Amino acid sequence: MTTVIVPVDFSATSLHAARYAANVLVGHYGVTLLLYHSYAKESEEEEAIQNLEALKKSLMDEFIVKIETLQHLETDFVDGLERAARHRKADLVIMGITGKSALGQVLFGSNTLKMAATKACPVLIVPEEAELRDIKQVMLTSDFKDVRNATPSAPIKLFLKAFKPQLHVMNVDKDHYISLTEDYETEKQELKAMFSEFNPEFYFMRLYDIEEALNLFAEDKQIDLIIAVQKNYSFMEKIFHRSFTKKLSYQSKIPILVVHE
């Protein structure tokens, strides 16, 4: 991992995402944190530069991390961010979100989902209440269906190699009974071989409520980050679909890394 981009509009949410990024990158001396800002009018350029430099100084005073800045005149935020990610060969984009109710809106109709859909690079979503702490316990969610072709192992491995967390592979299904079916066991062995260097631990929960299961698991294992694979109708959509009446109590606290199938 060499380049991480954090888009900022200088709102409290984006500034928190920038601090989160700087915190987790402490000690990663080969990684550059790129603060990105787009503005709509040429007259805003000087102010953008000043604000970016002020933020850079503030972060470098607090965290020992390499930081650069980039500002663009841009009418379309996602287009500009995508180009920046591709041109800089970014390994990761870290973006903030606001509040529980806004999470679904951001993921399904706004800039974060649009950015993830570009497949330019993985997107790490940082809720505004996410704590500034190291990434030590990571949950990878999987539906255990065609994992060889459906699991983007390369970006996930890159992330795991950079942060070296304990990897927990989690599946929730109402049809799990005392033992796994033959198909599930086959897919489990495939994933185990895929991520063997990270010594993954596997968990299968038989619950009808995905939110409840993940809530319990996250609390029990003190999960610092969730990795979710974006599909046409994915785990992400199941969690954040508006038809769900319950809300994950931790969804305003735990960052989510979205990688595209």
Q: Is residue 75 part of a domain?
A: yes
Confidence of residue 150 (pLDDT cuts 50, 70, 90): confident
Beta-ladder partners of 6? 35
53: in domain: yes
For residue 60, being part of any structural domain is answered with: yes
Residue 132 domain-assigned? no
Q: Is residue 215 part of a domain?
A: yes
Same domain, 143 and 102: no
Residue 115 in any domain: the answer is yes
Convert the pLDDT of each residue in 10-50 to its tens digit. 988 899 999 999 999 999 999 999 999 999 899 999 999 99
Mean local confidence (pLDDT), 186-213: 84
CATH number, domain at 234?
Answer: 3.40.50.620
Domain range for residue 9?
3-127
Q: Is the pLDDT of residue 240 over 60?
A: no
pLDDT tens-digit profile of 154-184? 999 999 999 999 999 988 666 655 566 788 8
On whether both 27 and 96 belong to a single domain, the answer is yes
- Give the residue-averaged pLDDT of 143-150: 86
Helix (H) or strand (E) holding 212: helix 210-221
Same domain, 232 and 158: yes
176 and 62 together in one domain:
no
Domain assignment of residue 221, yes or no: yes
- Is 151 found in the same domain as 102? no
**Ramachandran angles phi, psi of 6, nearest 5°:** -120, 110
* Pairwise pLDDT comparison (55 vs 144), residue with the higher score: 55
Please tell me the total count of domains within the chain. Answer: 2
Query: What's the CA gap between 52 and 69, in Å, rounded?
Result: 6
Sign of CA dihedral 128, 100, 138, 224: positive
Domain end marker among 99, 127, 155: 127
Residues 212, 153, single domain; the answer is yes
Domain assignment present for residue 38? The answer is yes
